[in-house]
């Protein structure tokens, strides 16, 4: 049975857009509190109902405790629900370290945590986080580390799991199966499908936590709002616009999407040019930037 805290987050995020924020840094990897604050507040002003910080888009796995704390505090101060990414270390997960991140998020007022997928014992990992921090959890079914159906079923039976963010990227069948299982379990089916955003709503998603809303918030929100309001003509048109943008941002090299979203955030005057830098991703060409911004201009 779902815990009341998890049920409250599930209901709070239903039909809401959670913007998976980037973490703007300069060339030295330094954050500026003023830049962060203005950027996050701008996402909310433009239509984000909640914020996800320190997730994959926010490069959470690379950031130290002090920087993580600053991001969480700035987001929580805005007054919308804040979901904090925990885990995701590229050298393998250490539950103790992830527990520390979850406890920090709880102490700083986060509404929940997005738990990066783990191998081995995902149920035990989530249960340890739940017992230590007491924060509702969104499990994360990620295309690079997809959960087996049996593991997902156990997570969906955990009282602290409010929902599942599914991000299978190009596996439509797997996406449909996870969304269906999540809905059957009475948890929130959250789309993380930037390249299948509109279709994932048709398949049963009832909320969104997406990196494409790290900049293009009104365009992303328009799709979710139109579907939730059953304005299907507008939904089709809005989906077509968002698909055009996703097609040039979420493409190979896929890890480059963070830099592309930073370019868009700069073009939208959300962040200064000197902070539109992703030191953790692949180097991208000037031609890539021009291609992205040309589509942004056309939209």
How would you write 38-103 as a 3-class SS string? HHHHHHHHCCCCEEEECCCCCCHHHCCHHHHHHHHHHHHHHCCCEEEEECCCCCCCCHHHHHHHHH
Q: Read off the pLDDT band of 155 (50, 70, 90).
A: very high
| Domain ranges, ordered by start, for the chain | 4-298
How many helices (DSSP H) and strands (DSSP E) are in the chain?
A: 12, 8
φ/ψ of 188, rounded to 5, equals -85, 125
How many Å apart are CA 268 and CA 227, to the nearest integer? 25
Q: How many CA atoms lie within 13 A of 214 on its CB side?
A: 34
Q: Which CATH number is 4-298 given? A: 3.20.20.70
Q: Read off the pLDDT band of 93 (50, 70, 90).
A: confident
Q: Read off the pLDDT band of 89 (50, 70, 90).
A: confident
**pLDDT tens track for 77-86:** 999 999 999 9
What's the pTM value of the predicted model, to 2 decimals?
0.96
């Amino acid at each position: 049975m779902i815990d009341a805290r998890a049920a409250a987050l599930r209901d709070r995020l239903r039909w809401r857009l959670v913007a998976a924020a980037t973490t703007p840094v300069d060339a030295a990897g330094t954050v500026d509190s003023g830049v962060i604050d203005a950027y996050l507040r701008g996402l909310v002003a433009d239509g984000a109902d909640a914020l996800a910080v320190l997730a994959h888009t926010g490069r959470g796995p690379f950031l130290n405790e002090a920087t993580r704390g600053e991001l969480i505090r700035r987001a929580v101060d805005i007054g919308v629900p804040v979901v904090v990414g925990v885990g995701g270390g590229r050298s393998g997960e250490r539950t103790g370290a992830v527990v520390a991140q979850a406890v920090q998020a709880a102490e700083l007022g986060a509404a929940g945590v997005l738990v990066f997928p783990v191998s081995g014992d995902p149920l035990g990992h989530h249960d340890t986080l739940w017992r230590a921090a007491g924060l509702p959890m969104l499990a994360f079914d990620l295309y690079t580390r997809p959960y087996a159906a049996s593991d997902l079923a156990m997570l969906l039976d955990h009282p602290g799991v409010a929902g599942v963010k599914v991000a299978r990227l190009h596996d439509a069948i797997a996406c449909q199966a996870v969304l269906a299982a999540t809905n059957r379990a009475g948890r929130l089916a959250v789309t993380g499908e930037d390249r299948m955003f509109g279709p994932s709503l048709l398949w049963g998603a009832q909320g969104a936590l997406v990196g494409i809303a790290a900049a293009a918030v009104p365009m992303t929100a328009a799709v979710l709002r139109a579907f939730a309001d059953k304005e299907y003509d507008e939904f089709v048109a809005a989906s077509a616009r968002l698909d055009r943008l996703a097609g040039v941002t979420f493409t190979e090299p896929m890890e480059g999407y963070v830099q592309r979203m930073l370019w868009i955030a700069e073009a939208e005057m959300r962040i200064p040019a000197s902070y539109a830098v992703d030191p953790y991703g692949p180097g991208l060409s000037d031609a890539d930037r021009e291609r992205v911004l040309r589509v942004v201009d056309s939209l």
